[in-house]
């Protein structure tokens, strides 16, 4: 018995020192057996702000080690030079990796999870689709129509009744309708006066929350939960099933519609959505139901949740910074005058709104829709900061923390200051993507960046020209625990008519 005790003690001592050698830059206290998990779990409710504090106190880069034998180890950084090295200079050595695809299982083999040739094929395909002039016109027409006929109608109804509304829910419904129309050519009319319950929207949120918990729970734990179908894993399974049934039904319907288009030799706007274009671009073996399902899911995440997040935080920042709101309105009025006809600005018109562009950039800097990015090293490397990277090392970038670092943005980094994006000549200031990583950086820079700015500007200008958004007293936003940075309890506001 004593020999067993001494052997166990010796093993623990050896393993303890082994972990100390492996973890040279600890972010938290590394406890025996349970690693750094206690500090993480205790601060999970404020994980994004906690990451800012911890990374600032460790020079922007450090290591997290999970419980022993869980392989839950990460190198975490918010250093822009490291980000530039990983996402651009040494791009080929850093991939999403098989573990990423396992955690993001719901994304399938779409563009966000793919590596190598599969990723390159998806990227080239979507790049060609987004650059089609017909698609740009289709997208602009779709969003302007949705703003005019749904968004402004709902907000007018709310302000007439003087009721409190969850603006995040409004944007969720708006972007869901918009992405359905853009990707599937089908408008589910989620944004309407009766605010119908949308099961598929709820399913999306549940999938994202479950993916977040897969990041903070040991793999063996969520694997067991998945096998037993309990807790968040059961929720995720049911949510994915709901989404897949919804998408596969629409894919089947689209094949029928496409067949009718071909018979009638129609190629106009009725067949201009992305799903139809994907079906036309490849043969049925290349673009089968699974490929189309994965493509649609990835497009939904890119074009729905990120826009909801950006618009929600934008209006919270503007509502709590009246001087910025005043300057945005001044710019709109100088360029387009009063809004007596409630006209929704066009793509060409919103390009003139430089100050609005700066305000949106500030929103994305302070509240990036995707608050963290994940990569895996293929081979050993040394980062510019001097930190060593072993093969298969998992690396997390805290985009949220990067937007709050004085070293990157100056001492006024916590202020909403659109002017930092505007040159002395009145143009838009260029900031390297490895400092402003809201749209990723390097070869994987977001293909929909320009389209996202276009949609946000159209929506923001339309609302601000017509209405004043007032935050309900006592309402303090808390970031949700999800892979997309939303407000945990929604965004409660009152809407009043803008005086012309």
Report the relative pairing of strands 372-377 and 388-389 from DSSP bridges.
unpaired
Q: What is the domain count for the chain?
A: 1
CA 433 to chain centre: 16
What residues make up the domain containing 133?
A: 23-497
Q: How far apart are CA 306 and CA 101, in angstroms?
A: 20
Q: What is the pLDDT of residues 28-77, one digit of tens each?
A: 677 787 777 788 888 888 889 999 999 998 889 988 887 876 777 889 99
Average pLDDT over all residues of the chain = 86
Q: Does position 21 have pLDDT exceeding 60, yes or no?
A: no
* 140-144, 435-439, 471-475, 481-485: least confident range: 481-485
Q: Is the pLDDT of residue 125 over 50?
A: yes
Q: How far is Cα 359 from Cα 314, in angstroms, rounded to an integer?
A: 8
Centroid of chain to Cα 276: 25
In this predicted model, what pLDDT tens digit does every residue of 456-466 receive, in sequence order? 999 999 999 99
Helix (H, G, I), strand (E, B) or coil at 173: helix
CA dihedral 432, 434, 439, 445 (to 10 degrees): 90
Mean pLDDT of 311-338: 94
pLDDT value of position 463: 96
* pTM exceeds 0.75: yes
Q: Report how far residue 240's alpha carbon sits from residue 217's, in angstroms, rounded to the nearest whole number.
A: 20
Residues 328, 418: Cα–Cα separation, whole Å: 10
Is the model's pLDDT at 12 over the cut of 90? no
- Mean predicted confidence (pLDDT) in 176-187: 88
Comparing 304 with 485, the larger pLDDT belongs to 485
Q: Cite the beta strand spans of 337-480 per DSSP E.
A: 372-377, 381-382, 388-389, 394-398, 467-471
* 18 in any annotated domain: no
Quickly count: other Cβ atoms within 10 Å of residue 365's Cβ. 25
What whole-number distance in Å separates Cα of residue 338 and Cα of residue 326? 14
* pLDDT value for 248: 87
Q: What are phi and psi of 469, to 5 degrees?
A: -100, 125
* Domain harbouring 411, CATH code: 1.10.630.10
**Is 17 contained in some domain?**
no
Q: Which helix (H) or strand (E) holds 76?
A: strand 73-77
Q: Quick check: 3 pLDDT over 90?
A: no
Average pLDDT over residues 103-132: 88
Q: 269 pLDDT exceeds 70?
A: no
Label residue 472 by pLDDT band (50, 70, 90).
Answer: very high
pLDDT for 18 equals: 46
Query: In terms of DSSP H, where are the helices of 346-396?
Result: 347-350, 354-366
Which residue from 387, 353, 308 is spatially nearest to 457, judged by alpha carbons? 353
pLDDT of residue 146: 95
CB 222 within 8 A of CB 214: yes
Query: Which of residues 10 and 97 earns the better pLDDT score?
Result: 97
Task: Give me 147's structure tokens.
Answer: 């703003």
Predicted pLDDT at 266: 52
pLDDT of residue 91: 95
- Could you tell me whether strands 372-377 and 394-398 are parallel, antiparallel, or unpaired per DSSP bridges? antiparallel
Express each pLDDT in 194-249 by its tens digit: 888 877 777 877 887 888 888 778 888 888 999 999 988 999 999 889 888 888 88
* Sole residue written with tokens 């006592």: 474
> Taking 80 as the threshold, does the pLDDT of residue 263 lie above it?
no
Residue 167, token pair as written in the block = 């603006």
Rounded-to-integer distance, Cα 127 and Cα 120, Å = 10
Q: Identify whether 5 is part of a domain.
A: no
pLDDT tier for residue 2 given thresholds of 50, 70 and 90: low
Closest alpha carbon to 199 in 241, 161, 166: 241
Flag whether 199 is in a domain.
yes
Q: Is the pLDDT of residue 349 over 60?
A: yes
Q: Please report, rounded to a whole number, the percentage of residues in the chain having pLDDT higher than 70.
A: 89
pLDDT number for residue 211: 85
DSSP-derived pairing of the beta strands 73-77 and 394-398: parallel
pLDDT tens string 393-452? 899 999 999 999 999 999 999 999 999 999 988 899 999 999 999 999 999 999 989 999
C-beta separation of 325 from 496 below 8 A: no
**Among 25-29, 162-166, 335-339, the range of highest mean pLDDT:** 162-166
Percentage of residues of the chain with pLDDT beyond 90: 49
Does 12 reside within a domain? no
């Amino acid at each position: 018995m004593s020999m067993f005790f001494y052997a166990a003690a010796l093993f623990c001592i050896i393993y303890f020192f082994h972990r100390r050698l492996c973890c040279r830059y600890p972010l938290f206290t590394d406890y025996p057996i349970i690693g750094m998990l206690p500090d993480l779990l205790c601060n999970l409710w404020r994980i994004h702000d906690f990451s800012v504090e911890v990374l600032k106190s460790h020079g922007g880069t450090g290591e997290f080690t999970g419980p022993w034998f869980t392989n839950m180890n990460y190198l975490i950084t918010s250093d822009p030079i490291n980000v530039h090295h990983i996402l651009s200079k040494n791009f080929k050595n850093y991939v999403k990796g098989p573990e990423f695809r396992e955690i993001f299982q719901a994304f399938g083999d779409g563009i966000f999870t793919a590596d190598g040739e599969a990723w390159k094929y998806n990227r080239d395909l979507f790049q060609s689709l987004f650059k089609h002039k017909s698609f740009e016109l289709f997208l602009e027409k779709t969003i302007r129509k949705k703003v005019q006929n749904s968004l402004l109608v709902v907000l007018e109804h709310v302000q007439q009744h003087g009721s409190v509304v969850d603006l995040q829910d409004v944007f969720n419904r708006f972007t869901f309708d918009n992405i359905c129309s853009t990707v599937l050519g089908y408008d589910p009319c989620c944004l309407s006066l009766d605010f119908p319950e949308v099961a598929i929207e709820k399913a999306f949120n549940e999938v994202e929350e479950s993916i977040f918990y897969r990041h903070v729970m040991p793999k063996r734990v969520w694997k067991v939960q998945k096998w037993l179908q309990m807790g968040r894993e059961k929720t995720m399974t049911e949510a994915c099933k709901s989404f897949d049934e919804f998408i596969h039904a629409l894919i089947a319907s689209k094949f029928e519609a496409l067949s009718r288009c071909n018979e009638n030799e129609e190629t106009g706007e009725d067949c201009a959505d992305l799903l139809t274009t994907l079906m036309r671009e490849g043969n049925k073996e290349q673009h089968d139901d699974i490929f189309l399902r994965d493509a649609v899911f990835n497009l939904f995440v890119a074009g729905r949740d990120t826009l909801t997040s950006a618009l929600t935080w934008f209006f919270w920042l503007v509502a709590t910074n009246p001087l910025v709101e005043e300057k945005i309105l001044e710019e709109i009025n100088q360029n387009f005058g009063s809004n007596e006809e409630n006209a929704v600005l066009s793509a060409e018109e919103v390009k003139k709104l430089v100050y609005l562009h700066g305000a949106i950039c500030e929103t994305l800097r302070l509240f990036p829709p995707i608050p963290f990015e994940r990569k895996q090293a293929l081979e050993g490397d040394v980062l510019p900061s001097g930190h060593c990277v072993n093969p298969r090392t998992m690396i997390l970038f805290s985009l949220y923390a990067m937007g709050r670092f004085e070293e990157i943005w100056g001492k006024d980094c916590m202020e909403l200051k659109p002017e930092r994006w505007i040159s002395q000549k009145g143009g838009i200031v260029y900031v390297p993507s490895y400092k402003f990583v809201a749209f990723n950086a390097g070869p994987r820079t977001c293909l929909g960046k320009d389209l996202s700015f276009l949609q946000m500007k159209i929506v923001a200008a339309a609302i601000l020209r017509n209405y004043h958004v007032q935050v309900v007293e006592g309402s303090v936003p808390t970031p949700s625990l999800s892979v997309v940075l939303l407000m945990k309890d929604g965004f409660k506001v009152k809407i009043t008519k803008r005086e012309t």
